[in-house]
Amino acid sequence: MDGRIVMATVEKAPLVSALRSNPVVALTVDDAPLTIIGVAEIEIVDGVPDVYLDGARPFVAAGAWDGFEAGVRALYDRMAVVTVAPTGPVAVQAGTSGGGRGAGHPARPGTIGWS
């Protein structure tokens, strides 16, 4: 692990266009008062990248995995892999409950992995 954060999304997602215009990002961890500042790189890949499937696996019942994977592979011919390289220290926001969706709300499945 080198500290980069890797996520995948659909090739034509608004996120991809926005990051091409301005690759400087601030990622907030939902369940912790944590913000990571970095620079994003985008790579368009054929098929469904492993980082997407690896991120989804904990949220899909074991018996449903084969169908889920087949459905995802049928749905996406190409995807964007977004890699964020932190550019400085991680900011811990004291006295806050974190940002985003908050405690008890897991991250959306299949979106984030650690490289």
The architecture of the domain spanning 5-93 is: Roll (2.30)
> Is 7 buried (19+), middle (13-18) or exposed (0-12) by CB count in 10 A?
buried
Domain extent listing, the chain: 5-93
Task: Quick: pLDDT tens for 82-95.
Answer: 999 999 767 676 65
Give the residue carrying structure tokens 């400087």: 24
Q: Where do the DSSP E strands lie in the chain? A: 5-10, 24-29, 34-46, 78-86, 91-92, 112-114
Task: Quick: pLDDT tens for 1-52.
Answer: 688 999 999 999 999 999 999 999 988 877 777 888 999 999 999 999 999 9
d(CA 44, CA 8): 10
Parallel, antiparallel or unpaired: strands 78-86 and 24-29: unpaired
pTM metric for this prediction: 0.73
